[in-house]
Amino acid sequence: MLEILKKTMPFQVVSDTMLRRIAELGKRVAYDKAAIIYDAGDSAGDIYIILSGKVEHTLEPGVNARRPVQLLGAGDVFGWAALLEKFPHRLAKAVAIEPAEIVRINGDDLLRLLESDPDSGDVVMSRFATMITRDYTVPDLIAQMRAIHRKLHSSDIQGMNLTMYRLSLWLKSPRPYLMLIGFGLFLSFWYLAVEVWKLPRFREMPGLTVVIKEWLNPDPSYGLSIYTAEYYQHILVSIWRVTQAFVLASLLGVPLGLFLGWSRKFKEYVFPVFETLRPIPILAWVPLAIVMFISTESAVIYLTFLASFFATALNTMLGVESIDESYVRAAYCLGAKRHQVFRHIIIPGALPFIFTGLQISIGVSWFSLVAAEMVSGQYGLGYVINTSYTMVRYPTIVIGMITLGFVGYVTSAMVRILGDYLMQWRVRELALGGQ
Amino acid sequence: MSQEDKLKSKIQAGEIVVSGVSKEYGANQFAKEVVKDCSFTIERGKLTVMIGPSGCGKSTLIRLLAGFEHPTAGTISINGKPVTGPARDRLVLFQETALFPWMTTYDNILYGPRARGEVTKETLELAEFLLSKVGLQEFRKKYPTQLSGGMQRRAELARAMINNPEVMILDEPFRGLDAMTKELMWEYYSALYEENRRTNFFVTTDIDEAIFLADRLFIMSNIPTRVRAVLEVDVPRPRRLLDIVENDRSNEIKMEALSILHEEAMKSFSRGSKAAADFVEAYSKRVAKT
C-alpha cells in the first residue's frame, strides 16, 4: 500500500513517516464489478485511492467540468469532495468497472493528521487543489480546499504579533548563531593582532582586554566606564540630539520629497538647488553653522539634521517616481480626485522607499553628529572620542566608538521595525514569500 | 429584490462613438502618426473585441478612450457627450494588474465608492455580492501579492463592476496568465457579461480569445491604426469552450479573421516588423494543416 500511496499525486512529496501514518488511517475495501462506490449527492466522508482495478468517475453536469467522465486506475485518487470547502456532498458518481481493491481514508482524519505537520500538510492540500482543477478540469471556484488549522498561521497574524513571529522564526534559523560566530571571529582577531601577535600598526592600539577591563571597571583609570554616571549622560545627550535632528529631517524631508516626485514644476525649481547643496560635506558647513546659530547646541543639531534631511528627501522623491503609473491611472479611473491620488496612492506607494531613506538617514545622522560634536559641544559620544584623543585616553576612545556602533544599530533597527509595522503588505510580500 | 436584480436594474449600457480620430506623438518633422482618421462605434450592450497585430496602436486607442490622452484630431464621445478625461463611466482594466498592493482585496474592491464618498449600505451589500460572485470571500483580507494571477484579475473585475460603469474597457487583461487559467477566465468573464450585458470593449492579440468572447470583432490595420474589417460573431450564447472549438460558424469566422490579419501582417512584414514575421510564419503553418 505504501508504494502505491507514494506514487499518488497528492502524497508524492510527504515524508515516509507521514506516509506510514496516512496508510494507518486507510481501510482496504474490495468492490465487485459494477459496484457503485458512491453517487452524486451522497454525503462525502472518505477519499479513495485505487490499489488495483478500474473505476469510472462521472462528474455531475452542475460542476461544469470540461472532461466530466474519467477512467481511473491503480494509484489514482478520487472522492476528493471530502476535502472541499463548500461541498459536503459528492459531486460525482464512481462505479467499479472491474473488480477493484481500494483504500478509503476518512477526510476529517486525514485533515487532522495533516494539521500535525502543517508545512507538508499545506503541500498535500495544494496538490489536491491542482489535481482537481487540472486532472478533473473542475473550475477553481469549486476546488477550494478545506483549510488546515495551524496554531500559528503566518497570514492570520497582524501588527506586533507578526514582528514577534518573525523574531521567533529568526531565532529558530541558523542566522543568529552565524552572527555570533561573526562577532567572535572579529573580537578574537582584535585580541590576537594587538595583544598576542603584536602585529605592526596594531601594536599601539588599545587591546581587547584593556578596553573591556576599563569599560567594566567600577573605578576606571581614565574616568569613563559603565559605572560612571557621565557615561550615560554622554549617551543620552547624543541620542537626544539625533532624535531632534532625525525628527526634524523626517518632518521636512518626507513632504519635500513627496512634492519633488509629485509635481514636475516644483522639481524643476527646487531640485537643481537641492542637488548642488547635497554633496557638500558636513564638515564644510561647520563654520557657517557656528556663525548662523548663536548657541552651539542648535549648531550641532543643525549639522546633524542636514545630511539626514538630504537622504530622506532624495529617497522619498525616488519612491514617488518608482510608483507604477498603472496605480495612478486606476485610481483616476475609479473616480479619485488629485488629492486623493496623492493620499491613497503616492504616499503608501512611496512608503518602502521612504523607510529605506529613513534608515539611511538615521545612520547618516549618527555620522554627522559625531563630526559636529567633535567641533563643538560639551557632551556626547563624539565629544568623548575627541577629548580622549587630545588627552591620550586611548581605551576610552574605543569605548566611545563601540557604544556609538551599538546605539546606532539599535536606532536603525527601531526604524526598520516601525517600517515593517506600517507596511504589512510589503512584509508579507518580502519576508513571508507572499503567504 | 435580490442583489443580482439590483445590479441588473442599475446597468446603463453606454455607447462610445469615435469619429475621425488621429493621434500624433512629437511635433513638426519628428511627429509620428500612430492613429490616423479612425472611426468606429462601440455599440450599446455588446461585447466588441478589437484584434490587431502587436504594435498597431491599440494601446494608444485605449488611452484615448479612457481619457488619459487627447486626440490630435477628431472626437470621442460617450452617450453623445465628448470625453474630456478619465471618469467612472468608462472603466479601464489594463494589461498589468493594477490592484493597489497596500490594500486588502476588500479595500481594493471598495476603493471607487470610497474615493467618491458614495459608500452606502447598498454599496456594502453589493461588495459582498461581488466578492462571492468572483469567489474571493475567503480572500477578502488578503493583500494582492497573496492572490494567484487569476484571482487578481477577478478581484479587478469586481473592483470595476462595483462602480457600475457604462462601458468596461479591457486591454489584454488575461495576458500573462497560464493557458489553463486563461481559458477558465474566458468562460468566467463571458458568463459575467452574459448575465448583465453591459457595453464591453475588449482588446486582444489572441484570435481564439477574440472569437470566443466577441459579439462583434474589429480587425485593425497596422500603423496608422484603423478599423480594417468588422465581423459579426453570430455564435449563440452562452458559449462554452468545447462547443466553440467544434462550432463550424466560429471556425469559419476564425479563418476569415486570420486571413485579414495575415494580409495586415504581410504589410508590416514588408516594413521589417519582427512580430509580423512571426505571425506570418505561424499562420502559414496553420493553413497548411487545415
Does B176 lie at the interface with A, CB-CB under 8 angstroms?
A: no
d(CA A107, CA A80): 8
Q: Where are the domains of chain B?
A: 13-89+165-289
Of A120, A152, A181, the last residue of a domain is A120
Examine residue A126 and state whether it is found in any structural domain, yes or no. no
At A432 the pLDDT is 45
The answer to whether the pTM exceeds 0.90 is no
Q: Packing angle between helix A381-390 and helix A229-262, nearest 10 degrees? A: 120
Beta carbons within 8 Å of A199's beta carbon, 6+ residues apart: A193
The C-alpha atoms of residue A346 and residue A93 are separated, in whole angstroms, by 54
Contact A424 B143 (CB under 8 A): yes
CA distance linking residue B256 with residue B243, whole number of Å: 19
User: Do A425 and B102 meet the contact criterion of CB atoms below 8 Å apart?
Assistant: yes
Closest partner CB to B115 (pick from A327, A336, A426): A336
B217/B210 Cα distance (integer angstroms) = 7
A363 vs B125: CA distance, rounded Å: 49
Q: Min CA distance, B37 vs chain A (Å)? A: 26
Q: What does the block give as the cell for B2?
A: 435580490
CA distance B103 to B143: 6
Residues A281 and A390 in one domain: yes
Give yes or no for a contact between A356 and A418, defined as CB atoms under 8 angstroms apart: no
Which residues does chain A have within 8 Å of residue B68's beta carbon, measured at their own beta carbons?
A: 329, 332
Domain boundary among A55, A88, A120: A120
Map B142-155 to HEC letters: CCHHHCCHHHHHHH
C-alpha span between B3 and A423 (Å, rounded): 35
Beta bridge partners of residue B49, listed in sequence order: B202, B217
**In Å, how far is B151's CA from the nearest CA of chain A?**
10
CA B271 to chain A, closest CA, distance in angstroms equals 31
Mean pLDDT of all residues in B250-269: 82
Give me the half-sphere count of Cα atoms (radius 13 Å) on the Cβ side of residue A412: 18
Q: Is residue A178 part of a domain?
A: no
Query: What is the strand order of the sheet A27-31 is part of?
Result: A27-31, A100-106, A46-52, A77-78
* Distances B131 to B28, B116, B134 between C-alpha atoms, Å: 50, 20, 5
- Residue B289 has a pLDDT of 56
Best to test chain A binding among B97, B100, B241 (most A CBs inside 10 Å): B100
Q: Do A425 and B68 touch (CB under 8 A)?
A: no
**Start-to-end C-alpha separation, chain A:** 34
Count the residues in chain B. Answer: 290
- Comparing CA positions, the residue from A118, A53, A126 lying closest to residue A83 is A126
Other C-beta atoms lying within 10 Å of the C-beta of residue A236: 12
Identity of the residue numbered B61: L
Whole-angstrom Cα distance, residue A305 to residue A223?
A: 31
Contact assignment for B88 to A424 by CB distance below 8 Å: no
A215, A86: one domain: no
Tell me, yes or no, whether A294 lies in a domain: yes
As a whole number of Å, the end-to-end CA separation of chain B is 51
Q: Which cell goes with A90?
A: 459528492
Task: Count up the domains in chain A and report the number.
Answer: 2
Could you tell me if residue A166 is inside a domain?
A: no
Measured CA to CA, the distance from residue B102 to residue A425 in angstroms comes to 5
In this prediction, residue B172 carries a pLDDT of: 87
For residues A225 and A344, state if they share a domain.
yes
State the Cα–Cα distance between residues B118 and B127, nearest whole angstrom: 13
> Do A94 and A41 meet the contact criterion of CB atoms below 8 Å apart?
no
Identify each DSSP E strand in chain B by its residue range.
Answer: 16-25, 32-42, 47-51, 73-78, 81-82, 90-93, 167-171, 199-204, 216-221, 226-232
Q: For the domain that residue A115 is a member of, what is the CATH number?
A: 2.60.120.10
With 0-12 / 13-18 / 19 or more C-beta atoms within 10 angstroms meaning exposed / middle / buried, residue A91 is buried
Angstrom distance (rounded) from CA B98 to CA A329: 9
Which CATH number characterizes residue A239's domain? 1.10.3720.10
CB contact burial B271-280 (16+ within 10 A = b; e otherwise)? eebeebeebb
Residue among B264, B162, B268 nearest B207 (CA): B264
Quick check: A144 and B135 CB within 8 A? yes
CA distances from A70 to A17, B32, B206 (A): 32, 57, 30
- Name residues whose C-beta falls within 8 Å of residue B274's C-beta, 6 or more positions apart in sequence: none
Per-residue pLDDT of chain A in tens (435 residues, 90 and over written 9): 777 777 777 787 677 778 888 888 888 888 888 888 888 888 888 888 888 888 888 888 777 777 778 888 888 888 887 787 777 788 888 888 888 888 888 888 888 888 777 767 777 787 777 777 777 777 766 667 776 665 444 445 555 676 777 788 888 888 889 999 999 999 999 999 999 998 888 888 899 999 999 999 898 888 888 899 999 999 999 999 999 999 999 999 999 999 999 999 999 999 999 999 999 998 899 889 888 888 888 999 999 999 999 999 999 999 999 998 889 988 988 889 999 999 999 999 999 999 999 999 999 999 899 888 887 778 899 999 989 988 888 999 999 999 999 999 999 999 988 888 888 777 655 544 433
Judge whether A328 lies within some domain. yes
Distance CA A239, CA A234 (A): 9
User: In chain B, which residues have their Cβ closer than 8 Å to the Cβ of A330?
Assistant: 92, 94, 98, 100
Q: Please judge whether B180 and A425 are an interchain contact, meaning their C-beta atoms are less than 8 angstroms apart.
A: no
Q: Do A333 and B111 touch (CB under 8 A)?
A: no
What's the CA angle centered on B248, arms B242 and B249, to 5 degrees?
105
Please give the pLDDT value at position A429. Answer: 56
**Contact indicator for A320, A349 with CB cutoff of 8 Å:** yes
Give the CA dihedral A397, A401, A406, A411, nearest 10 degrees. Answer: 120
Half-sphere exposure of B44 (CA within 13 A, CB side): 8
The answer to whether the Cβ–Cβ distance between A335 and B115 falls below 8 Å is: yes
CA-derived radius of gyration, chain A: 33
Would residue A327 count as lying in a domain? yes
Chain A residues with CB inside 8 Å of B88's CB?
A: 333-335
- Flag if B88 and A327 touch (Cβ within 8 Å): no
B124 touches chain A (CB under 8 A): no
3-state secondary structure at position B191: helix
Mapped to the 3 state alphabet, what secondary structure does chain A carry?
CHHHHHHCCCCCCCCHHHHHHHHHHCEEEEECCCCEEECCCCECCEEEEEEECCEEEEECHHHCCCCCEEEECCCCEECHHHHECCCCECCEEEEECCCEEEEEEEHHHHHHHHHCCHHHHHHHHHHHHHHHHHHCCCCCCCCCECCCCCCCCHHHCCHHHHHHHHHHHHHHCCHHHHHHHHHHHHHHHHHHHHHHCCCCCCCCCCCHHHHHHHHCCCCCCCCCCCCCHHHHHHHHHHHHHHHHHHHHHHHHHHHHHHHHHHCHHHHHHHHHHHHHHCCCCHHHHHHHHHHHCCCHHHHHHHHHHHHHHHHHHHHHHHHHHHCCHHHHHHHHHCCCCHHHHHHHHHHHHHHHHHHHHHHHHHHHHHHHHHHHHHHCCCCCHHHHHHHHHHCCCHHHHHHHHHHHHHHHHHHHHHHHHHHHHHCHHHHHHHHCCCC
Domain boundary among A87, A120, A153: A120
How high is the pLDDT of residue A415?
A: 92
- Answer yes or no: is A152 within a domain: no
ipTM of model = 0.82
CATH of region B13-89+165-289: 3.40.50.300
Task: Number of A to B CB contacts under 8 A, please give it.
Answer: 92
Q: Residue B188: name the closest of B125, B116, B135, B118 by CA.
A: B135
Residue A435 near chain B (CB below 8 Å): yes
Helix or strand or coil: residue B234? Answer: coil
Please report the pLDDT score of residue A181 as a whole number: 95
* Amino acid letter, residue A405: G
Establish if A184 belongs to a structural domain.
Answer: no
Q: Do B98 and A423 touch (CB under 8 A)?
A: no
Q: Which of A133, A334, A428 sits opposite B111 (nearest CB)?
A: A334
- What's the gap in Å between the CA of A348 and the closest CA on chain B? 7
The Cα–Cα gap between A283 and A285 comes to 5
| CB contact at 8 A, A374 and A306 | no
Range of the domain at A81: 2-120
Interchain pair B145, A429: CB under 8 A: yes
Classified as helix, coil or strand, B255 is helix
pLDDT of residue A160: 65
